[in-house]
Amino acid sequence: MLKLGVNIDHVATLREARYCGRGFGEPSPVEAARVCAAAGAHGITAHLREDRRHIQDRDVWELREKIATRLNLEMADVSEIVAIALKVRPEIVCIVPERRLEVTTEGGLDVVAVEKALTETRLKMNDAGVEVSLFIAPDEKQIAAAARTGSQFIELHTGQFAESFGDERKREVQLQHLISGAQQAHALGLKVNAGHGLNCENLPAICRVPHLVELNIGHSIVSRAVFVGFEKAVNEMLALMKGYRL
């Protein structure tokens, strides 16, 4: 069964637009996570950025305390955030590249360039009982390097696929990259997640990618929830995922 992880970052984005730096405010990303979990989401994803633009430290601790479902902490491989993750102990961390000026994560990790550092972080996380995923493009060299780090998962960056979705030829090229990447990762013993830019329109096509364990989807679910609520937004996405076959 293909699992759904709901990223609740942009609930915090809305809160911080009004209550930035005040230590309280609405809407609550933790309450959004609770509703999503009750609606059938298999996991909750939150990205604790270095600049704390949306999710705050208190959110991560409250998610850990109040949400029973799988917690996926997205994070950069920097000492401050690594230390927090080792204390919080989510079920899994997804290590992503992070640039201060980007609106959202713009690309995958260059695992080849920082393989040693990622391997060291992976060891620390695994020693603490935390699984590790690396957010990467469907690139042969990056996938091979991800396997060498000993990480349990990769998360394939589906952003280029999503951006090209309106052009049938480009969409098919990007989809084939994802299919090949998933096949390579599976052959190397990696579990495969995917995410970035996925929505109700493009999700049926992404279901052609084999060996997927979980899709991590945030912005489109939060956007849909503005009109229909989180329960229905999650259920709509789960319905589209229901027929997935490995």
Strand segments, DSSP code E, in 8-160 are 43-47, 70-75, 92-95, 131-136, 153-157
Rounded to whole angstroms, the Cα distance separating 187 from 165 reads 27
Could you give phi then psi for residue 40, rounded to 5 degrees? 120, 0
Q: Tell me which residues are annotated as active site.
A: 47, 74, 196
In this structure, what token pair is assigned to residue 153? 């998962």
Indicate the burial class of 112 (C-beta count within 10 angstroms; 0-12, 13-18, 19 or more): middle
SS3 (DSSP) at 135: strand
